[in-house]
Structure 1
Amino acid sequence: MVVNQIPFEEFHMLLHRQGLRVAIGPFNVCIHTSYKPLIEQLYLLYSHYRITQDEIAEFHVRIVTERSLRNPFKRNIRFLLDGQSPFESFPQEQALAVLEWGINLAIAVRVNHLLLLHSAVVEKNGHVILFPAWPGSGKTTLCTVLSYQGFRLFSDEFGLMDTQQQLFLPIPRLMPLKNESIAVIRNYLPDIVMGRPIPNTQKGTVAHVRPPEKSILLSKHTCKARWIIFPKWIADTPVKIEAISDSEAFMMLASNAFNYEALGATGFCAVADLIRSCDCFKLVYSDFDSVMEVLHQLTNET
């Protein structure tokens, strides 16, 4: 059963009482909150996720409201992970963004049986494309476009790699667009479901895009990687893709991993094997249609 198959009142009750357990990729996440504006947003944006009430949850998270110390007439929200608060409190209108950041944090610090790459990941023709990139490179924006234009979304944030089998695990979560990207994507993909913009966050204005239903339904289908592409959006620049050496790709990929150093030799061997098995490129673009043409051609030639 998925979220949109239950009435809103039942959804509200689950979040308020025992917690809503949903499958997000390979993990079950149990979410508690009584904050109704957040519940309303989750009912829309989590509508395709499978409910897993009878299964063990790897992460138990909670959004609670509390009075502001600076302004007792105003309420803030706080994120809790297993009852502990890793963040300061935030304005209550930022509840959804804080919840999503908190789940990201839980994955980044607690998952060490997989190699965690800081990368957008999509699939085409049975193979994965990794888009490792530093903040500000436009990987989430590019990932959003690709996910709604013939590619299957794995993640805009995490490349989850089983180092034994060299398989990538999908974890299709909400895609947080920032600032100018929000209007760009609304214009380019007018039919997507997007949450309302959340202003004045630590990352500026953020709006979350609901993943395609098909990507969520296929989230147990793993794939091996075939391409590693380091993207960079630069305004008014013609699309350009160029091959790079394995050594350059290795250094750039290892520096875009959350737990590469923690995994030691396992991480080193996993990245080295991944580089050897993939074609590696740098990509510069400004126009979605042009970059789509280049990527479709690249994936269809293989």
Structure 2
Amino acid sequence: MTVSSLKLSELKARLKKGLFLRIGPVTMAIRSTVPSVVEGVRLVYADYPLADDDFADFHVTLNPPRNLRRWLKPQAMFELDGVSPFKPLPFKQAFPMLEWGMNWCVSTHMHGYLMIHAAVMERDGHAAILPAPPGSGKSTLCATLVHKGWRLLSDELTLIRLADGEIIPLPRPVSLKNASIDIVQQYVPSAVLSPKVYDTLKGTVALMKPPADSLARIAETVKPAWIIFPKYEAGAATRLEAIPQSRAFMRVADNAFNYSLLGARGFEALAGLIDKSTAFDFNYSSLDEAIETFASLQTPAQAL
């Protein structure tokens, strides 16, 4: 069963006591009575499989705080196992806060993997990893490519299995911000986006529903092939330039959440990733040219 198989009344009832979702290697139990969360889950999580309600890796709640401020200045509070790691946010930001909170759960607890702050997509059994800071155009590029022949593995968190270096899919809704929302809507009219939420700390945000095929293949692990550091620059010529492995190693390490915490295992996992991949800097301003560039990527011999 998937979320879409539930009637609205059933979805509300499950969210009230705990909706158990399977998201790749993670099971999330989500509780919320906030209308925007109910509608957001119904829209962008429609194709996600429901999990048995006897176990979850994370039990999260998104509801108004239990104090008088809920009436004077409506807010939303995220909790993990009854503890709130963040300050409340305005009530209208409840659904994005749920997404940010679930990302935080994974990035701070899933230390059985080397975790990299990067989008990751698959084509023909090989993955392109896109580490990049906010504002680089990473999510815009990812949201477009997964509607142009690539499979979404994750928009935010690349999970590298320590035992063999395989990439574990964690497909979540793609977080789009500010101008990228309209760009993606115009470029990919079939993309399903949540309503815009304004005035967040990240600006205006919306979440894109993952393609159904990416979720249908959620159990298929992938070998790494390319590490690409994207950078959007208005008016810039499209340029894909190979970079040395040593530089790629340091830059990926800088984007890893738990490289230092893992110690020798983290070093070995990252070294293995670099050895199996070809690394590039990628500058672009045209999505058409970016799509053509990614389509022309050749699988490196070491990834075969």
| Structure 1 residues 190 and 56, CA gap change in structure 2 (3 angstroms) | same
1:111 corresponding residue in structure 2: 110
Residue 86 in structure 1 maps to residue 75 in structure 2: no
Between the aligned partners of 1:184 and 1:251, the Cα distance in structure 2 is 32
Distance in 1 (CA, whole Å) between partners of 2:195 and 2:240 is 34
Q: Deviations over 1:21-68 (max 9, x none)?
A: 001111000000111232122111110000013452101000111378
- Aligned position for 1:276: 275
Contact kept, 8 Å, 2:194 with 2:207, in 1: the verdict is yes
Q: After TM superposition, give the deviation of residue 114 of structure 1 in Å.
A: 0.5
Residue 65 in 1 paired to residue 64 in 2? Answer: yes
1:183 is aligned to 2:182: yes
The residue that corresponds to 2:160 in the other structure is: 161
The alpha-carbon deviation at position 73 of structure 1 amounts to 2.7
Equivalence for 1:6: 6
> Structure 2 vs 1, CA of residues 123 and 287 (structure 1 numbering), >3 Å: closer, same or farther?
same
**Closer/same/farther in 2, CA of residues 301 and 109 from structure 1, 3 Å limit:** closer
State how far apart, in whole Å, the 2-side matches of 1:131 and 1:299 are: 16
Counterpart-to-counterpart distance in 2, 1:114 and 1:300 = 24
Any runs of at least 4 consecutive aligned residues in structure 1 with deviations exceeding 2 A, and if so which? 66-74, 299-302
Kindly state the Cα deviation for residue 288 of structure 1 after the two structures are TM-superposed: 0.7
State the 1:143 CA deviation: 0.6
Instruction: Output the CA distance in 2 between the equivalents of 1:129 and 1:95.
Output: 32
Q: Write the distance in 2 (CA, Å) between the matches of 1:69 and 1:236.
A: 51
Aligned amino acid, residue 228 of structure 1: I
2:297 is paired with a residue whose SS is helix
Q: Tell me the percent identity.
A: 40
Are 1:172 and 1:211, in contact at CA under 8 Å, matched by a contact in 2? yes
Partner of 1:286: 285
2:101 pairs with 1:102:
yes
The amino acid that maps onto 2:74 is: R
- Structure-1 separation of matches of 2:66 and 2:31: 19
**Number of residue pairs matched?**
301
Tell me which moved more, 278-287 or 58-67: 58-67
- Give distance in 2, aligned partners of 1:152 and 1:72: 44
> How far apart, CA to CA, are the structure 1 residues paired with 2:267 and 2:134?
23
Gaps of 5+ in 1: none
Q: Is the 2:75–2:90 contact (alpha carbons within 8 Å) kept by the matching residues of 1?
A: yes
Shift of 1:161: 0.5
Match of 1:247 in 2: 246
Query: Do the aligned residues in 2 keep the contact of 1:68 with 1:75 (CA within 8 Å)?
Result: no
Give the aligned residue type for 2:153.
F
Aligned pairs (5 A) from 1:228-267: 228-267=227-266
Instruction: Provide the TM-score with structure 2 as the length reference.
Output: 0.96
Closer, same or farther: CA 85–71 of 1 in aligned 2, 3 Å? closer
* Distance (whole Å) between structure 2 residues aligned to residue 66 and residue 175 of structure 1: 27
The one-character-per-residue Cα deviations of 1:166-196 (angstroms, maximum 9, x if unpaired) are: 1000001011100111111111111111000
Contact 1:129/1:225 (8 A) holds in 2: yes
Aligned-residue CA RMSD (Å): 1.5
Aligned letter for 1:13?
A: A
- Separation (CA, whole Å) in 2 of partners of 1:37 and 1:136: 26
Moved more, 58-67 or 262-271: 58-67
Moved more, 87-96 or 67-76: 67-76
The one-letter code sitting in structure 2 at the alignment partner of 1:96 is F
- Cα distance in 1 between the residues matched to 2:141 and 2:239: 15
Q: Give yes or no for the alignment of 1:16 onto 2:16.
A: yes
Gaps of 5+ in 2: none
User: CA separation in 2, counterparts of 1:234 and 1:148?
Assistant: 22
Aligned AA for 1:11?
A: L
Residues 36 and 95 of structure 2 are in contact (CA less than 8 Å); yes or no, is this contact kept in structure 1? no
